[in-house]
Amino acid sequence: MSKILITGGAGFIGSHACVEFINAGFPIVVLDNLSNSKEESIRRIEKITGKTVTFYKADMRDAAAVRRIFEEQQIDAVVHFAGFKAVGESVAKPLDYYENNIGGTFVLLQIMREYGCKTIVFSSSATVYGMHNPIPYVEDMPTSATNPYGYTKVMIEQILHDICISDPEFRAVALRYFNPIGAHKSGLIGEDPNGIPNNLLPYIGQVAVGKLQQLSIFGNDYDTPDGTGVRDYIHVLDLAKGHVSALKYAKEHAGFMPINLGTGHGISVLEMVHAYEKACGKPISYRIADRRPGDISANYANASRAKELLNWQAEETLETMCEDSWRFMQQNPNGL
């Protein structure tokens, strides 16, 4: 039976996607080198779904290891999450980011070609809209980046686009995620960053659970309703479901297609803090700090292409995003 290879399937978004693919009846194989995740997340996927997961602890840059998977498993599509994702770290270590994200994708695409596998769903990001597009972001706007991480997404989208032009049977959907947050309803899988979190939600969660003292809100003088930054936060479960729809779409449509996965609504940092306080039932200590370099004031998606092509739209709410995140934090205060 043909299977889907999920790269980065032990990570935050990948693990939720594994659950959704299994629930939708797709046989999956997971590849992850566990550089930013733990094998425990595979056990948790198994616990949630009641199914055994075929897991290869392997690096996507290791051609022999990837080839072995294609040799041993009948892979007919790839859902490609694996990569480094920290913007600040990418500025400090650009070579690592280009080598892992682009180099790894190269190896994967070459081996897909060797084995005649022509379907890929790729984890792109709203970061490809750069600094200068007006909001809401629409897929046909020009792409650009402001840091090496963002450039890896822009370049991989370009590579996929070019492959689709060269091979009329190739199909690639680039899903441009906005800000994924939340966790599985079971509280068994969720976001488990190494070290001090860079992103808002895991930071708030660690303040709530008592691991961190105080949130710094990066700027309250933006041109937004309350002065704090506005983003389109999307529940990771909605996002995961979007991948199942995207894969079904890709199987039926050749060519390159970028699709936003967002709710279409912006939430400010202060609104998020208050929603989380409600979910966890205690105050979140915060202070107003300077703006974070590189941040934009506001972004959110135009989510109509996903609705039109994938028949997908976000269903969770700000409340459930915070409640589910808090459940995961309470059950796993020290991560997985």
Give min distance, CB of 233 to ligand UFG, in A: 8
Query: Is residue 149 flagged as an active site residue?
Result: yes
Q: Considering only residues 9-28, where is the footprint of ligand NAD by CB under 6 A?
A: 10-14
Give min distance, CB of 282 to ligand NAD, in A: 25
Q: Can residue 59 be called a binding residue for ligand NAD (CB under 6 A)? A: yes
What is the residue whose two structure tokens read 């937004």?
224
Cα separation, 87 vs 203, in Å, equals 16
In terms of Cα–Cα distance, which of 269, 262, 310 is closest to 288? 269
Residue 300 three-state SS: coil
Q: Can residue 190 be called a binding residue for ligand NAD (CB under 6 A)? A: no
Q: Can residue 61 be called a binding residue for ligand UFG (CB under 6 A)? A: no
Catalytic residue from among 97, 129, 137, 149: 149
Q: Can residue 60 be called a binding residue for ligand NAD (CB under 6 A)? A: yes
The one among 26, 81, 203, 276 contacting ligand UFG by CB under 6 A: 203
Residue 68 three-state SS: helix
CA angle 208, 209, 211 (to 5 degrees): 105
Taking residues 67 to 86 in sequence order and writing x for each that binds ligand NAD by CB under 6 A, - otherwise, the string is --------------xxx-x-
Taking residues 150 to 179 in sequence order and writing x for each that binds ligand UFG by CB under 6 A, - otherwise, the string is x----------------------------x
In terms of Cα–Cα distance, which of 154, 156, 158, 159 is closest to 143? 154
Tally the C-alpha atoms within 13 A of residue 92's C-alpha that lie toward its C-beta: 6
DSSP labels for 131-149? TTSPSSB-TTSPPB-SSHH
* Adjacent-strand bridge partners of 124: 176
Active site residues: 149
What residues make contact with ligand UFG under the rule CB under 6 A?
85, 87, 125-127, 150, 179, 198-200, 203, 215-218, 229, 231, 269, 292, 295
